[in-house]
Amino acid sequence: MADTTEKKCLNCGQPVPEHEKAALCPSCGQTYWKCGSCGFLLTAATPPNTCPGCNQKCEFKNVTCYTPDCGGPGNIDPRL
């Protein structure tokens, strides 16, 4: 039996297109952020001041994919 459950964005609740791998829709403006110290990954419009992973004040790097090479918005760029 096929799964007919529609995937919804974790941020806004809108339906996420079937081809999107992320649990957030591209229209939410969410960005993938990676802690420069411990590598903790999170999605948010802006990064926090303190990393939830290591509880330190860290520099967060934007690791969102913006090109078709890595899948486009809604994906993490594996090169970063």
- Tell me: the pLDDT tens digits for 11-35? 677 666 554 455 556 666 678 889 9
Cβ atoms of 19 and 33 closer than 8 Å:
no
21 inside domain: no
The answer to pTM > 0.75 is no
78 inside domain: no
Render pLDDT for 57-77 as a digit per residue (tens, 0 to 9): 989 998 888 788 887 767 788
Residue 54 sits in a domain whose CATH number is 2.20.28
d(CA 57, CA 70): 29
C-alpha 31: how far from chain center: 5
Domain count, the chain: 1
9 inside domain: no
51 inside domain: yes
